[in-house]
Structures are given as structure tokens and as C-alpha cells.
Amino acid sequence: MTPSEPAAAPPARWEHFEHRADMGVRGFGPTPARAFEQAALALAATIADLATIEPRDAVDIVRQAPSLDLLLVDWLNALIYEMAERRMIFGAFEVEIDGERLRGRALGEPVSRARHAPAVEPKGATFTELAVVEDRPGQWRAQCIVDV
């Protein structure tokens, strides 16, 4: 629940933001790709404590969308799908964005009730509070509400 790098003006960090019924995920970074990686960490942290997740197995993800904000929804929904289908939990992410195309890698391990004590199962990323914007030069913000 706490930002991963709480130091002042970090280059990349994530946070949750309030929604009455569900959870907002937000990533900051110097590029959209870094912000997407951080948003993915925020998503994973809705499920479990990131410190408990071992990056043992990698899953590659490729998505394409006509805009950055749709690409964020697609990226987060791809992660939700892969975690559900593979019964995995991810705790580290790598993203490259080239125009409309995203190539990503999620690292994690099979979900363990005992070690991860997963709290919620995300259902999907929504368009609510959806934004991928450059707040100031070199500071990108990628966010949306996730239905849990």
C-alpha cells in the first residue's frame, strides 16, 4: 500500500488512489513505458505484498492499440488475464512501447495462498479515471480504476 520509492521526486514510482468500491492504480515514470511498468506494480500490489513475489517465471505480452490510454487498459487486462489463466502472480515488469505497439514481460510465480495471502482478484481495468499523460517534461503518469 505504500509507494515503492517514497523519496522526493523519484524517477519512477507507483501508488494506489481512492475509489469507493474498487481500487485506482497509478504509475509514474520518465517515459510512458516506465509509467506502465509502475502501474503494473500498483496492480500487483492490489493482490499481494510485492516483497513476497519471486520473479521466477516470465510471460511475454504483446499488444497494440490506437492510443496510449487504450494501450494501458490492454496491458493491465493482459496481465489480469495471464495471472488468472496461469494461476500466477507477477511482481516485476519490463515494458517497451514503439508507436502503437507494446512489448512487455511479466515476471512472477505460481500463486500461493500461504505465502502471498492474495486479497483480491482484479476483474478488469476500466476507462474510469483513465489517463496516460506527461504532467511535466519527463514525468509521465499512467492510471485507471481496476474493478476488483
Instruction: Tell me if 62 contacts other proteins by CB under 8 A.
Output: no
Q: Among 62, 85, 99, 137, which residue interacts with other proteins (rule: CB under 8 A)?
A: 85
Cα 140 from Cα 122, distance rounded (Å):
24
Count Cβ atoms within 10 A of the Cβ of residue 3 and give its class: 0-12 exposed, 13-18 middle, 19 or more buried. middle
How do 57-64 and 88-98 pair as beta strands? Answer: unpaired
Mask for 110-129, x = binds other proteins (CB under 8 A): -xxx---xxxxx-xxxxxx-
Instruction: Tell me if 145 contacts other proteins by CB under 8 A.
Output: yes
Pick the stretch among 17-25, 32-40, 90-98, 100-108 that binds other proteins (CB under 8 A).
17-25
What residues contact residue 31 under an 8 Å CB cut-off, 6+ apart?
97, 140
Q: Among 73, 102, 132, 142, which residue interacts with other proteins (rule: CB under 8 A)?
A: 73
Grid cell listed for 67: 492510443
Binding site for other proteins (CB under 8 A): 1, 16, 18-23, 47, 66, 70, 73-74, 77, 80-81, 84-85, 87, 89, 111-113, 117-121, 123-128, 130, 145, 147-148
